[in-house]
A and B are shown apart, each in its own frame.
Chain A
Amino acid sequence: MEKFDIYLIGVGGQGIGLLSETIARAIDHAGFEVQGVDTHGLAQRGGVVESYIRIGPSHSPLIQKGKADLVIGLEINEALRGLNNYLRDEGTLLYSQTEWQPLAVRIKEDRQDVSAAIAAECNERNIKKVIADKIKLEDARMENVVILAVLAREKIIPGVKKGHYSLALQDLMAGPVLDKNLEIFLDVFGD
């Protein structure tokens, strides 16, 4: 497989670690070489969290700025940040419209129309924009499985298919949690 680099970004508490682990395992199940790295530590407390996944032959687990083929944003402000910093021209941006306001917005120091900012940047740089389905979920962390299903349905990661994602979920979960996640996955996938 050719090189394909994925940069994930979200807010601490959204469960990006598990999403990233699932995607990396799905890629492994698809038989491709994969490496990656997550951020840990203090930044996780309600701050920006990021994760890198690299498919195919690569050296560093870290991706250079502006060189990711795919940016996944779990939150809309973070999607803009990831798009600005890491996505290459003509790449793909997949994001959730979930918004967790940054502190500056809540203390009235800043505010912006994030959707418009994302649209402008995508337009300028010929970026394919995919917005994750909006579904009522009992736990916000289940948004991650919606992202997985969209990745599978839209065939965003070359060569990684529905079955690979589902195997990855089975590696990492069991019992009712697995059942619930698979149910949402299949529902969004449209099976």
Chain B
Amino acid sequence: MKKLGDVLLQPDSFSELLMGNHALVRAMLESGVRVVTSYPGSPTPEIGAAITSLPRDQNPLYFEFSVNEKVALEVAFGAAVNGRTSCVFFKSVGLNVASDSFVQLGLMDIPGGMVIVLGDDPGANSSQNEQDNRHFGRLSYIPIFEPKDPAEAYNMFKEAVRLSREKHMPVILRLTTHVCHAKQKIEFAPLKLEEQDNKPGFSPEKYGPYIPLTSSVFELKKIALERLKNFQEEMEDSPFHEVINNGSDRGIITTGLPFKSLMEVLPEIEEEVDILRLGVVHPLPEKLIIKFLKDHGEVKILEELDDFLEQKIKSLAYDHNLNTVIEGKVDFDDWIGEYTPDKVWDVLEKNWPDLLSSREERKPIHQAIPRPPQMCPGCGHRSAFFAIKKALQKEDISVADIGCHTLGYLPPYSLGQVLLSMGHSSGTASGLSLFNTEKNVVAFLGDSTLFHAGLPGIINSVFNQHNFTLIIMENDTTAMTGHQDNPGSGRNVRGETKKIAIAPLLESLGVEKIFEIDTYSQAKLTDYVKKAVEFDGFSVVIAKHPCMLKFSREQRKKGRTLKKVQITDKCREIHACVSAFGCPSFQLNQDGAVWVHDDLCIGDGSCIQTCPVQAIEIKK
């Protein structure tokens, strides 16, 4: 068996079929990174899984999942100003959380070097929006590399570290979902782990000032702009930019994965068009772009998400009096969704349909039934939503938050009517409860999210005496992103740690009304939620049950067989189990009979109490 950790630590050069996220860890090792931090979020958490796969006694990296992206970024920054090369990685919207500190990085002299790996998510595959984080690079004077595939991500990371160290500036490596998760055979260079010294390198005298206040702000900003200019000049002829010259009068400027989609939809002989692919998207290689514009009568900017390149390239053309026809976004559809090959086909068709390979539209005879995501068999959140729904009035307001429990907004529970961001629920619920005497307000919050960004909203609810009920959906882990530990788990990536228990934490904050119950005690949970909602003021219900996906996987790993439930002949086809409780293990025959799918059932038995005629039992 090829263990990932052993593969990544091989001293000699080798080639291996690896995912982008995993390949990055080899790049970290080769380039002498010492400190890596993160908060888990798709599409990047597999970077953490690859780091923790390294055998502990051979792992030169310090790694932590911090409580949120801002703290992760600060830990990486602190290490880097002390001379340790660092890397922080997180998902697209994670940068919003980190942004207060992130926007300062450009002003800082970072002698150790620091790379920010951003997992943007065009197509919103697993995010609440598809924000274009290239804007953040411009906002903060920080350069951005954008690879087209895993092999390039590996090479660009090493180049980003080299430049970051040399210029003492932060560098962003912006990946998108299908670069993070794509797999390809990658050629890896040899790895020589060198002894690194632990002498503190932090020196405000030598590299500072690090206090950006009063007039030093302007001085630091000027240095940031100079560093960026210097970076731009060096990157003008970077090998990461790619020009495909077929001698055409028409050209396309593009980047990253959309480039690969473009190559896919062009017919095999693509002599009709020239292509400039940019490997650095901020700051732009202006001379290279101007030359490309001058060489072409018409240029199409093919870019995913916003018109970031388009605006800059059009202004370059204006400044240089170029009369090249520049085509950017045609309509709003061009702003929306991932630039897959099919999407690029749609986008290009609006300008140059003659360039495209053939495509047939067909209509299937029978459409497949949609399959929305749902909570796993045995999930404690299912018992919670089933019980909570019974405690609330139909017109009550429910505020969702981020986690597996977000799925409660779907039928059959339909709990959770508004969602902004990680940890927003207490704040939003507080606002909803103002000048509102008719409807109760209930907010949900996961345990990892509580520690991540939920605490300020909770403290504000105590401080400003808000009136709503917060239900904490505690499952002891960060389930949605792959079961990373959180401060309430009692473990971190290195092992045991002090567990921060939620109830005493809330008590110490002055929350007056706290209920705590395992969600499998459904009747009690219903009762507690009723009482909490009746309470005049801020109340909390901790509705806890460990993640059963994690539990069932651990059981299977240990070789244990899971029990199953079955339907007995007492069944009167009331369908509470299959339709209202909604565990996916229950299957419904056309004639109304219900049966339990052994592929799915984990024998947790949380369903037994949902049957009004006691027709569910554990199979002997």
Shortest Cβ gap from B144 to chain A (Å): 22
Contact of A61 among B178, B265, B597 (CB under 8 A): B178
Contact of A28 among B185, B260, B369, B599 (CB under 8 A): B185
Shortest Cβ gap from A127 to chain B (Å): 12
Q: Which residues of A contact B126 (CB under 8 A)?
A: 40-43
Q: Is residue A18 contacting chain B, with contact meaning CB distance below 8 A? A: no
CB-CB contacts below 8 Å: A28-82 with B? 28, 33-48, 58-66, 77-78, 80-81
CB-CB contacts below 8 Å: B571-586 with A? 575, 578-579, 582, 584, 586
**Interface segment, one of B163-171, B227-235, B296-304, B370-378:** B370-378
Q: Is residue B199 contacting chain A, with contact meaning CB distance below 8 A? A: no
B125–A78 touching, CB < 8 Å: no
Shortest Cβ gap from A49 to chain B (Å): 10
Q: Is residue A133 contacting chain B, with contact meaning CB distance below 8 A? A: no
Q: Which residue of B lies closest to A79 (CB)?
A: B368
B366–A80 touching, CB < 8 Å: yes
Q: Is residue B2 contacting chain A, with contact meaning CB distance below 8 A? A: yes
Interface centre among A35, A38, A77 (most CB of B within 10 A): A35
CB-CB contacts below 8 Å: B163-201 with A? 177-178, 181-185
CB-CB contacts below 8 Å: B512-541 with A? none
A117–B365 touching, CB < 8 Å: yes
Q: Is residue B42 contacting chain A, with contact meaning CB distance below 8 A? A: yes
A173–B359 touching, CB < 8 Å: no
A100–B366 touching, CB < 8 Å: no
Q: With A40-B126, A120-B365, A121-B366 known to touch, is A103 a contact of B371 (CB < 8 Å)?
A: yes
Interface string of A80-120 (1 = CB under 8 A from B): 11011000000000000011111111111011101001001
A105–B1 touching, CB < 8 Å: no
Contact of B561 among A36, A39, A107, A138 (CB under 8 A): A138
Q: Which residues of A contact B368 (CB under 8 A)?
A: 77-78, 80-81, 84, 114, 117
Interface centre among B341, B359, B556, B597 (most CB of A within 10 A): B341
Q: Is residue A2 contacting chain B, with contact meaning CB distance below 8 A? A: no
Q: With A36-B182, A37-B178, A37-B182 known to touch, is A106 a contact of B371 (CB < 8 Å)?
A: no
Q: Is residue B340 contacting chain A, with contact meaning CB distance below 8 A? A: yes
A37–B183 touching, CB < 8 Å: yes
- How many A-B contacts if CB must be within 8 Å? 188
Q: Which residue of B lies closest to A37 (CB)?
A: B182
Q: Is residue A124 contacting chain B, with contact meaning CB distance below 8 A? A: yes
Q: Which residues of A contact B575 (CB under 8 A)?
A: 108
A62–B341 touching, CB < 8 Å: yes
- CA A37 to CA B257, docked complex, whole Å: 12
- CA A62 to CA B578, docked complex, whole Å: 36
Q: Is residue A131 contacting chain B, with contact meaning CB distance below 8 A? A: no
A24–B183 touching, CB < 8 Å: yes
B185–A64 touching, CB < 8 Å: no
Q: Which residue of B lies closest to A169 (CB)?
A: B1
Q: Is residue B59 contacting chain A, with contact meaning CB distance below 8 A? A: no
Q: Which residues of A contact B183 (CB under 8 A)?
A: 21, 24, 35-38, 61
Q: Which residues of B contact A176 (CB under 8 A)?
A: 559
Q: Is residue B43 contacting chain A, with contact meaning CB distance below 8 A? A: yes
Q: Which residues of A contact B185 (CB under 8 A)?
A: 28, 33-35
Q: With A43-B125, A139-B556, A178-B1 known to touch, is A35 a contact of B182 (CB < 8 Å)?
A: yes
Q: Which residues of B contact A12 (CB under 8 A)?
A: 373
Interface size class of B (residues with CB under 8 A): 35 or more
Q: Which residues of B contact A114 (CB under 8 A)?
A: 368
Q: Which residue of A lies closest to B265 (CB)?
A: A64
Interface string of B465-507 (1 = CB under 8 A from A): 0000000000000001100000000000000000000000000
B263–A42 touching, CB < 8 Å: no
Contact of B369 among A36, A112, A121, A172 (CB under 8 A): A112
A106–B597 touching, CB < 8 Å: no
Shortest Cβ gap from A63 to chain B (Å): 8
Q: Which residues of A contact B177 (CB under 8 A)?
A: 40
Q: Is residue A25 contacting chain B, with contact meaning CB distance below 8 A? A: yes
- CA A171 to CA B597, docked complex, whole Å: 32
CB-CB contacts below 8 Å: A122-151 with B? 124, 138-140
Q: Which residues of B contact A106 (CB under 8 A)?
A: 578-579, 582, 584, 586-588
Contact of A40 among B43, B376, B556 (CB under 8 A): B43
Shortest Cβ gap from A15 to chain B (Å): 11
B404–A46 touching, CB < 8 Å: no
A66–B362 touching, CB < 8 Å: yes
B340–A43 touching, CB < 8 Å: no
Q: Is residue B118 contacting chain A, with contact meaning CB distance below 8 A? A: no
CB-CB contacts below 8 Å: B369-401 with A? 369-376
Shortest Cβ gap from A64 to chain B (Å): 5
Q: Is residue B215 contacting chain A, with contact meaning CB distance below 8 A? A: no
Q: Is residue A13 contacting chain B, with contact meaning CB distance below 8 A? A: yes
Q: Which residues of B contact A101 (CB under 8 A)?
A: 584, 587-588
Q: Which residue of A lies closest to B559 (CB)?
A: A176
Interface centre among A47, A100, A103 (most CB of B within 10 A): A103
- CA A35 to CA B150, docked complex, whole Å: 10
- CA A46 to CA B379, docked complex, whole Å: 12
Q: Which residues of B contact A81 (CB under 8 A)?
A: 368, 371
A41–B43 touching, CB < 8 Å: yes
B480–A42 touching, CB < 8 Å: yes
Q: With A117-B365, A173-B1 known to touch, is A104 a contact of B370 (CB < 8 Å)?
A: yes
Q: Is residue B204 contacting chain A, with contact meaning CB distance below 8 A? A: no
- CA A145 to CA B257, docked complex, whole Å: 32
- CA A93 to CA B481, docked complex, whole Å: 32
Shortest Cβ gap from A7 to chain B (Å): 13
Interface centre among A12, A44, A45, A174 (most CB of B within 10 A): A45
Q: Is residue B333 contacting chain A, with contact meaning CB distance below 8 A? A: no
Interface string of A151-178 (1 = CB under 8 A from B): 0000000000000000000111110101
Q: Is residue A188 contacting chain B, with contact meaning CB distance below 8 A? A: no
- CA A40 to CA B176, docked complex, whole Å: 13
Q: Is residue A11 contacting chain B, with contact meaning CB distance below 8 A? A: yes
Q: Is residue B367 contacting chain A, with contact meaning CB distance below 8 A? A: yes
Q: Which residue of B lies closest to A137 (CB)?
A: B599
Q: Is residue B90 contacting chain A, with contact meaning CB distance below 8 A? A: no
- CA A45 to CA B126, docked complex, whole Å: 11
Q: Which residues of B contact A64 (CB under 8 A)?
A: 264-265, 340-342, 345, 359
Contact of A174 among B1, B362, B367, B584 (CB under 8 A): B1
B374–A45 touching, CB < 8 Å: yes
Q: Which residue of A lies closest to B557 (CB)?
A: A177
- CA A114 to CA B367, docked complex, whole Å: 10
Q: Which residues of A contact B359 (CB under 8 A)?
A: 64, 66
Q: Which residues of B contact A34 (CB under 8 A)?
A: 17, 184-185
What would 17 more interface pairs be, CB under 8 Å, given A66-B359, A108-B588? Answer: A24-B17, A37-B182, A41-B126, A42-B126, A43-B126, A44-B373, A59-B261, A60-B263, A64-B340, A77-B368, A78-B371, A81-B368, A84-B366, A103-B374, A103-B410, A106-B586, A107-B578
3 tightest Cβ-Cβ pairs between the two chains A and B: A41-B126, A47-B373, A140-B599
List 26 A-B residue pairs with CB atoms under 8 Å apart, sorted by A's residue number: A35-B183, A36-B184, A37-B178, A41-B43, A41-B125, A42-B373, A42-B406, A45-B404, A45-B407, A47-B372, A58-B264, A59-B263, A60-B264, A60-B340, A61-B183, A64-B342, A80-B366, A101-B584, A103-B410, A105-B588, A107-B411, A108-B588, A120-B365, A120-B366, A121-B364, A171-B2
